């Protein structure tokens, strides 16, 4: 069985985009909220993967924080397809 170079490049691109979305949204959310970093990372991973789990941080965020999570959920859902 052979793994094609194109398939490996696509997989690397998807992982890179996912981690980039995760990193950028974590940094932005930590700038606009005064929450614990563990809660912020949990929320952003959940939003990027569109899982729907929360540590009850979402309701305490301001409008900028909620907007960051909304964009993160959208990019987590369709962001990987932008690479392909």
The size of the chain, in residues, is: 84
Residue 25: which domain range?
A: 5-82
- Alpha carbon separation from 50 to 16, 42, 58 (Å, rounded): 17, 12, 14
How many separate domains does the chain show?
Answer: 1
pLDDT at 79 over 90: no
Helix ranges (H only) for the chain are 5-32, 37-48, 63-78
Question: What's the CA gap between 14 and 82, in Å, rounded?
Answer: 9
What's the pTM? 0.84
CB atoms within 10 A of CB 54: 14
> What is the C-alpha to C-alpha distance for residues 44 and 14, in angstroms, rounded to an integer?
17
- 6-62 tens-digit pLDDT: 888 888 888 888 899 999 999 999 999 999 999 999 999 999 988 888 888 989 999
């Amino acid at each position: 069985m052979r793994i094609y170079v194109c398939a490996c490049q696509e997989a690397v691109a998807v992982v890179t985009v996912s981690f980039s979305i995760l990193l950028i949204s974590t940094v932005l959310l930590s700038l606009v909220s005064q929450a614990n970093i563990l809660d912020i990372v949990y929320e952003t991973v959940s939003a990027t993967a569109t899982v729907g789990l929360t540590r009850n941080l979402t309701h305490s965020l301001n409008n900028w924080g909620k907007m960051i999570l909304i964009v993160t959920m959208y990019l987590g859902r369709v962001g990987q397809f932008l690479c392909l």
